Chains A and B, each alone.
Chain A
């Protein structure tokens, strides 16, 4: 158990500065979003704001659209690029633990960080919105931002897969379908349109967990 704590400790040391920076960015985006909502409410009048939202659809928190994606990518980069530099991953995989467990714990760390951001940010955003808007609009906002935050999880796993891949050429090839799948999360549709599709997005995320193991296998086979 302590051994896995050590791996988490290593991941924390690598990523802590980036996590703190992104927490500040998220906080800033949240504060700014609410400032803009309040300003729009004052300028338009709340009833016009409500009516516009009902008529045209929910469109809050646009500043958060790509933040979870950015977080996921940065997490993967800060975790795994140092491992591939000078092939340090050899040291990590040489630890007296099953190799798949090592990779799994590293991935679990990244997913946990991303999930923590989601579980803190989303409820806070919706709670803030609920002070000024009825529950239907808050629920609409939830369905609007959910795919963006799920994209963060997917982006982390896909970026991890790419970063852990030992061959540069293969990284470029992996990027193409990876970017394609990430675009599934950003189809530019109305709030709530993703309701029947969320299950598939979650499915992609669960599948993508396996990809990094393939890159690690290729690393162990000596591909370069």
Chain B
């Protein structure tokens, strides 16, 4: 089966600083792949390259078989994108943003969005810009659920969230993924959330992949340790 995400020989520099050289990885359908790494190792960079928002020095990425700089509108419709910081069009209110997005996706699930938002105790006319970080993250998640994409790309989904909202996010995400053979590619630097969520993980270090394994195999190799312990062991303390 063709992988949903495929990156081949990605090399990128910021100025003279090497981010990665000949980075290769794949994400199979139905898997949740977590990209872990310290700050500055290039997690957001690979998200940007994947979505065609950054031109690497060399190499190619494909999603659903399409090159990252030539994604068709149909393919983009199958991808749900969460930007770092849960960035959304914050000049909309709760109702407006749903109305805006609903027209782009024929299978839009309105109920999924509003069901999630019920729990937030926000009014339909509340502007997103007036919401807390946690509330904004739920709006972003609700929009993704309503879109019902085949592939979710989540850049640092836990950024700015307190433990309560982080746990909520992870639970909803897991439930969503399990409901229908979704593929997820996510990045984070909060390791404890990833342990119960991801199937496979890639640990990035400066300039290279340190490790690419299934979570199960990784934890079996390091019994008694949490994923965070393993991460620190592999990448070293600051």
A touches B (Cβ under 8 A): yes
**Chain A contacts to B: CB under 8 angstroms:** 2-3, 5-6, 9-10, 13-14, 82, 86-88, 90-91, 93-98, 219-222
A96 near B100: Cβ-Cβ < 8 Å = no
B10 CB → nearest A CB, Å: 13
For the complex of A and B, the 3 pairs showing the least CB-CB separation, nearest first, are A222-B54, A96-B77, A6-B103
Interface-located stretch among B85-93, B182-190, B213-221? B85-93
Which of B53, B55, B69 gathers most chain A CB within 10 Å? B53
B53 near A90: Cβ-Cβ < 8 Å = yes
Which B residues, 93 to 136, have Cβ-Cβ distances below 8 Å to chain A?
96, 99-101, 103-105
Residues of B within 8 A of A10 (CB): 89, 92, 100
Taking the complex as formed, is B83 at the interface, i.e. its CB lies under 8 A from any CB of chain A?
yes
Taking the complex as formed, is B223 at the interface, i.e. its CB lies under 8 A from any CB of chain A?
no
Residue of B whose beta carbon sits closest to that of A101: B73
CA distance A221 to B83 in the complex (A): 17
A86 near B85: Cβ-Cβ < 8 Å = yes
CA distance A87 to B89 in the complex (A): 11
A94 near B92: Cβ-Cβ < 8 Å = no
Contact of B103 among A2, A94, A222 (CB under 8 A): A2
A97 near B81: Cβ-Cβ < 8 Å = no
Taking the complex as formed, is B48 at the interface, i.e. its CB lies under 8 A from any CB of chain A?
yes
B182 CB → nearest A CB, Å: 17
Taking the complex as formed, is B79 at the interface, i.e. its CB lies under 8 A from any CB of chain A?
yes
**Chain B contacts to A: CB under 8 angstroms:** 48, 51-55, 69, 73-74, 76-77, 79, 81, 83, 85, 87-89, 91-92, 96, 99-101, 103-105
CA distance A95 to B69 in the complex (A): 14
With A87-B87, A90-B51 as known contacts, state yes or no: A13 contacts B92, CB within 8 Å: yes
With A2-B103, A6-B103 as known contacts, state yes or no: A94 contacts B73, CB within 8 Å: no
Residues of B within 8 A of A94 (CB): 51, 76, 79, 81
Residue of B whose beta carbon sits closest to that of A96: B77
A87 near B83: Cβ-Cβ < 8 Å = yes
B107 CB → nearest A CB, Å: 12
Contact of A3 among B52, B92, B103 (CB under 8 A): B103
A98 near B73: Cβ-Cβ < 8 Å = yes
Residue of B whose beta carbon sits closest to that of A97: B73
A13 CB → nearest B CB, Å: 6
